[in-house]
Structure 1
């Protein structure tokens, strides 16, 4: 949603815009690199000229009020650099009785400093026809030049809803996803409060039931389009202290699903987060890429303002300390899988010997030894939590027999848990294992009955080798 700016008279908006010359050059791509040339902003006014616009509005037809204020707005923007305006009108070429659902036309193409052309054309148009909003939105896609670097803005001014059985909301969403234009502004004029419910899905809707409100809203929309918007992301610990930083952040366009900005958070020596130039005409989900990630859907950014947004992301450090034994029976580094306690989703996998920042909270660390070990740990803000495992021993099976068998861990309650299948090609192996009590169950391939299954209990001790021999029947 947008937050309205303070009301501005038309004589003041030119001064406001003149002070904001850097607005159009702010980056809008995921790479964050400033463009070589200032970006062009193109504003297409999509104006309702249906028959209902001739209804009186505080003593004057809505049509005349809309034309007069739109002409003044064009005048105030005429000298603004890197800005082009266009005018599309619908419902003005055919009488309402004809119910023409393709009555829409680009009356003034995009061009710099074309206020005079817009004002001249507005004087010759009359309101009389239908309300083909969907068709007009679809046609507007052809109005914007093929310029992927520009900021394309559509401003719909209407006093009615779709009258041609189209779906303007679906059309608007499809065009936003194709990046034809950013989320549109919709101003409902002379309307009751309930009028806007069917138009809110098109974009950022404003209700202007009074002429004065319409003037204010029109000013605010233009100011938000062109004014510089900044965002500072303040990352804190649980107590609200500004101590977290150096975290990747992604602003995801929640219409297209694509990343618009990627930043690594920075905080200066005084603890103050730096300021980012963000285009407020798009809507975002903010992903703070901690482990696990923090996602803020529908991030509220006030256009034309210096936004400061605070998020608590207290972090501690998980230290994976490998067992100290030479030589290491496991060979390479033991791996661990980390997930939030109670979650089946893996947060990350990493080798022992690693240090990893995690959000403060409770975790399960599954250590991929043999057998696997699951430890529950608590990570606290600013503290290190160490996880390790016992030094392994080695199981040495000296027999070289083909067969079928498995290893089981013997539990304290005398139950057994499967942990490993022996290779069928040969029972001979050296296997690193955690200390504990185990059982071997094996039948050779030449044995002709289940009763010839060999069952052996054995114990593994740290840094020691346990040898077993298996005999065929």
Structure 2
């Protein structure tokens, strides 16, 4: 996707001076660990891109910066209270933050407002200067108002600032969270790919504060407006009004090329420019046009910029007649793109006229189409990924309780084995109620909880939904060994060599594991008291408790 991040950051340095990026003396990074971070950009999950960006940027932060990490949605699905200060703010915390992000699960909802509020409170924002950097790939999903929160924190804080990095958000989605930053004097930065996210973190976390600019000298009075540009999609088309477009204004170099950036304005802009030579660049969606402008004293200018672009509306659907999939990845490769742009769900975007290649991905299903777009034209297109949906769960025993734990590992394979006897893995997930969108065909679900594993074959048909349940034939063994330094679990039965198969261990006094139905021996290392053994029989769907002392 085209990255406009450097454009946004440079313009922020001009607008008002006070918006210049500064390193935070004491700050908390709030990381979106919701399930949507499994979405992909350029074939790579967003959560992996975020981890890599943190690893890179955190090596450059000033040594005296007190930095912490807060996450939400990383422990539970469907919870608006799953918020945790994973690493408290402290100097030298970069390695701890990196390690925490690398080991984090991405599961739940997006309570971004509550997370920012908690981070502000942990920084004692009503007593000290405090900065929060929010990285989110989605909008608030927990009935809160980020805009109102920004005003509240600004009014009650001593010197509070929130920066927001919108990772993979559309322009419209970005406007819905940008107010959180703007209402606290912070910055909203749109990061559309790995490089954009790394640049955004460098600007909000790692870049040292610039020296304050000297106060500008008073300027003489000027005419109210001498530059009123208009924008159209095509020759002869009506001028656009409040379209969400941007006007980038540059000083012109002697050879007519773009020089120093002066400002970026939006929508129906009216302004006054000093006499001189300029280059004006107009952008809307993924389309852009630029042209020179020579301003002379006492003259007014109303230039028309023609984008030579059209509007494409893509509605990704799992099957013919199916509902629009809001999590679908829509990748657009259009004329003039340095690399394809990625959007999500129903996509409405202005693109340069010409041939656009569209790839829609829903789960493991993919569809590709080529669309011809003329200047001024609007093309609406339903694109069918051709998938059905299954929800995979596991039971401890036939007719028994569902395995309702985040440690449940579910992997989906193609049913047909390869020549070496192995199967090709298609996708995976964690916890109960895993939803998979798959092309038509035969598959095998492999569910594993601790030491118990079961396979369940199933078939997928396009446009249909189904449930897949694997029966582990297992129970839970809970062990209490007071004073133990180590606990190990073995099968009771020895093999022909006299050895027992190991079924897990723990360096603790307590250990709990899901085990296949059967008989087991538990060995506890009690230190000076030596090693003690106990035995237990595990039944499918039941809990067994054992004390070894």
Give the alignment's TM-score, normalised by structure 1.
Answer: 0.40
Higher alpha-carbon Rg:
1
Of structures 1 and 2, the one scoring higher in RCO (CA 8 A, sep 6+) is: 1
Give the alignment's TM-score, normalised by structure 2.
Answer: 0.34
Structure with a larger share of its residues in strand: 2
